[in-house]
Structure 1
Amino acid sequence: MEMILRKGESNTGMRLFQIYFSPTGGTKKIVDFMSRSWDCEKVEINLSNSLEDFSEYEFGENDVCMVAAPVFGGRVPMLVTSNIRKLKGNGAKAVLIAVYGNRAYEDALLELKNTAALAGFCCIAGVAAVAQHSIMNQFAAGRPDLRDEEELLDFSEKIKGITGENTVGAELWVPGNDPYKEYKVVPVIPKTGEECNQCGLCAEECPAGAIPKENPMLTEPEMCISCMRCVVICPQKARYADEGLVEMMSKRLGEVCSVRKENELFLLDFAEE
């Protein structure tokens, strides 16, 4: 925690904070691509760490924070918005990144913006980016790819170009509706196969605390957010999503998810003098 800016301390140099929730790795890849060209001190903050006290993090006006989250059913998972609200922005510049699996991001980017603003951040840019779907892996397979990488690096350069601008009177517009759409996703509760050796890694890494440490073969349905973290990290490949349910979802979303969606950038609109 030595990187935290505490009250009374000064921050004279720019720092880039990579603040992300990335249960299956796609969101972190996007953040890594966009951070690559920033020549400054970089600090990672993993919003999925259930043991972290995010209220201890304070930022300064010279800091730039990439705040990234996956899109679940057109919204940001409540666990993520709850953790973002605990941060103390103190006027730090925020780059909002909503990562979706090639269907639609709907109200997620606006929700990220509003949540970050309430936490005291100055929102200067929004990015909607595509990564491989966390449940239906055939959609956006392999993304972000080289084409995405080039585009995201270009976005990053444009964002860097406005970080020194005076933001007074400027407003960031991103698409979305307020009130947001109802948070409604098909619950895909991972199952556990006989390969499980009860190592407990899934229980330790579950951001929602839905897997009991005393019996990691179980999953609490009312707590699970279907993030697929346990499926991705299981060393024994013993965790999996119900194939029948995934097939049903794939058929329903096949048409809308099969056409390649493009990444989008939204920049702060500076008022004319």
Structure 2
Amino acid sequence: MNCSHIVAVYFSPTHTSRRIAREVARGTGLGLLAEIDLTCEAGCDPIALPKDALILLAAPVYGGRVSPTALERLARLRGQGQAAVAVVVYGNRDYEDALLELSDRAKDWGLTPVAAGAFIGEHSYSRPSLPVAEGRPDEDDLKRCRDFAAAVMEKLHRCGSLEQACDFPVKGSRPYKALKPSTPQAPITLPEKCLRCGSCLKHCPTQAIFRAEDGSMDTDKGRCIKCCTCVKGCPAQARVFDTPFSEFLHTHFSARREPEFFL
């Protein structure tokens, strides 16, 4: 069973899912036909996927499930039965049902999952004083990406059909873990540090940040998904998200976890 190219599709506010997706794609040895970044793309037009390509899907885990915003955007995909690889990236706590969920949803989008992997990225709530998976994915993680990609390609070459390749277990439970209601919260802007450059506004995946009448940066708490890309990417360190969950994660989930593969 052969695929001539790979298409990487991802939602990645803090770029960890993007890094993982790119490294897995590179590790397959296939030509990267397209990279579809849905992070700031909130359109509704269907996205047709090329027939002869291997489709790589990558998304972050929020509370043991795939990010709802990621699922909304990935639902635009229109497959034609292509082989697909599902990848989730979590912040060192647990991915719970997210990988199974993404694999299941891939079928709804017309794809045929043949492998799945869970990787670790720096937690959105990590900060220098309370690090959680700081700096991940690191070089060891990227090597594991390549190992995973090689295993996927070996499986595809070994299997004579998609029907054979799609028969594999994925960790998780159905029904999926219930999503807890999200409390409206958002990072704040420190006015004494803010350069009013608009970088946070430009990179917010849900357009939750806006410029107030006085030119300062404000945030719609109802739209914010607490991805913290504005915090991690602010050139002046003027965006801050103060949550007690940072200390909880640092205390209980600092021990290094490793990627897991299912083929």
Give yes or no for contact 2:5–2:30 (8 Å, CA) kept in 1: no
1:132 match: secondary structure: coil
How far does residue 182 in structure 1 lie from its aligned partner after superposition? 2.0
Q: Is the 8 A contact 2:61 2:98 kept in 1?
A: yes
Identity score, percent: 35
Q: How far apart, CA to CA, are the structure 1 residues paired with 2:169 and 2:7? A: 22
Q: Answer yes or no: is 1:253 the counterpart of 2:243.
A: no
Partner residue in 2 for 1:211: 209
Whether the 8 Å contact between 1:64 and 1:93 is mirrored in structure 2 is yes
Counterpart-to-counterpart distance in 2, 1:67 and 1:13: 16
Secondary structure of 1:23's counterpart equals coil
Q: Which residue of 2 aligns with 1:149?
A: 142
* Residue 40 of structure 1: how far off its partner (Å): 1.3
Q: From the superposition, tell whether residues 13 and 29 of structure 1 become closer, same or farther in structure 2 (CA, over 3 Å).
A: closer
CA distance in 2, matches of 1:54, 1:201: 27
Q: Deviation of residue 230 (structure 1)?
A: 1.7
Q: Distance in 2 between matches of 1:171 and 1:70?
A: 24
Instruction: Check the 8 A contact 2:59/2:87 in 1, yes or no.
Output: yes
Question: What number of residue pairs does the alignment pair up?
Answer: 251
Deviation per CA, 1:126-163: give whole Å up to 9, x if none.
Answer: 00001111212411112222222222211110101223
Tell me, yes or no, if the aligned pair for 2:123 and 2:134 is still in contact at 8 Å. Answer: yes
* Counterpart secondary structure, 1:163: helix
How do 1:1-273 residues align onto structure 2 when only pairs under 5 Å count? Answer: 14-37=4-27, 38-53=29-44, 55=46, 57-137=47-127, 138-164=131-157, 165=159, 166-168=161-163, 170-184=166-180, 188-194=185-191, 195-213=193-211, 217-242=217-242, 245=243, 248-267=244-263
Aligned-pair CA distance for 1:202: 2.2
Q: CA deviation at 1:29?
A: 1.4
Q: TM-score, normalised by structure 1?
A: 0.84
Deviation digits for residues 207-235 of structure 1, max 9, x if unmatched? 11212355661111111100112223333
Task: Pick closer, same or farther for the CA change 1:158–1:95 going to 2, 3 Å.
Answer: same
Q: Gapped runs of 5+ residues in structure 1?
A: 1-11, 268-273
CA distance in 1, matches of 2:126, 2:108: 33
Give secondary structure in 2 for the equivalent of 1:80.
helix
Q: CA RMSD in A?
A: 2.2
> How much does 1:105 deviate?
0.2
Per-residue deviation at 1:200?
A: 2.8
Of Structure 1 and Structure 2, which has the larger fraction of its residues in strand?
2
Query: Is the deviation greater in 127-136 or in 192-201?
Result: 192-201
SS in 1 for 2:258: coil
State the distance in 2 between where 1:173 and 1:224 align: 34
Return the alpha-carbon distance in structure 1 between the equivalents of residues 194 and 247 of structure 2.
30
**Contact between 1:54 and 1:83, CA under 8 Å: does it hold in 2?**
no
TM-score by length of 2: 0.87
Runs of 4+ aligned structure 1 residues displaced above 6 Å come to none
Paired with 1:61 and 1:222, the residues of 2 have a C-alpha distance of: 39
Aligned equivalents of 1:187, 1:153: Cα separation in 2: 38
Distance 1:112 1:88 in 2: 15
**Conserved 8 A contact 1:61-1:93:** no
Deviations 1:25-68 (A, max 9, x none): 1111111221223231331111112354551x212442111100
| Whole-Å separation in 1 of the counterparts to 2:90 and 2:45 | 24
CA–CA distance in structure 2, aligned partners of residues 192 and 203 of structure 1: 12
Gaps of at least 5 residues in structure 2 are none
The 1:54/1:34 distance shift into structure 2, 3 A limit, reads farther
